[in-house]
Amino acid sequence: MTPPERHPSTDPREWLNRARSNLAQAGSRLPGVYLEDLCFDAQQAAEKAIKGMLISRNIEFPYVHDLARLLLILESHGERIPSDLRRAGRLTPYAVATRYPGPGVPVSEAQYLEALEIAETVVNWAEELLRGTGSDR
C-alpha cells in the first residue's frame, strides 16, 4: 500500500493523514497488542483530527491531550460541535493514564470498541468539514 502524500505540518491535510494512520493502528487488533495501546491510538487519532480542524481555522492551540478542552477552543471560535462529538473527552485518559504500566485496571473489550467508535466519529467529522471548506490547498 502506498503511503499518503506528505504535507507540511502547518497543513491540516497532514494532521488528518496522521489521524487516519492512528485510526488504522487503533483498529488493527494485531496479536499481542494491548487494548490500552489501541485506545491510545484511538485518542491520538481524535486529537490530531481536532488539531487539524484548529489549524484549518487558523486557531492557535496548546499542545495538550485534553480533547474536551480542544473542542471548547474550537467552539469558542464559532465552530459548531455536534453533541455526539463531545464524547471525545472520554478518550483523554487514554493519552497518558493507560499508556504505561501502572496500577490501573486493564481496558475492557467494550471500552476499546467505544474508543474506536468515538475516534472514527471525530476523524470522519473533521474530514467532512475539511473537504467542505476547501482546505485541500
Residue 96: its pLDDT value, please? 87
How far apart, in whole angstroms, are the C-alpha atoms of residue 51 and residue 131?
Answer: 15
Residue 133: its pLDDT value, please? 65
90-128 burial, b at 16+ Cβ within 10 Å, e below that, comes to: bbbbbbeebeeeeeeeebeeebbebbbebbbbbbebbbe
Question: pLDDT for 10-38, tens place per residue?
Answer: 899 999 999 999 999 999 999 999 999 99
**Mean pLDDT of all residues in 98-110:** 86
What is the SS3 string spanning the chain?
CCCCCCCCCCCHHHHHHHHHHHHHHHCCCCCCCCHHHHHHHHHHHHHHHHHHHHHHCCCCCCCCCCHHHHHHHHHHCCCCCCHHHHHHHHHHHHHCCCCCCCCCCCCCHHHHHHHHHHHHHHHHHHHHHHHHCCCCC
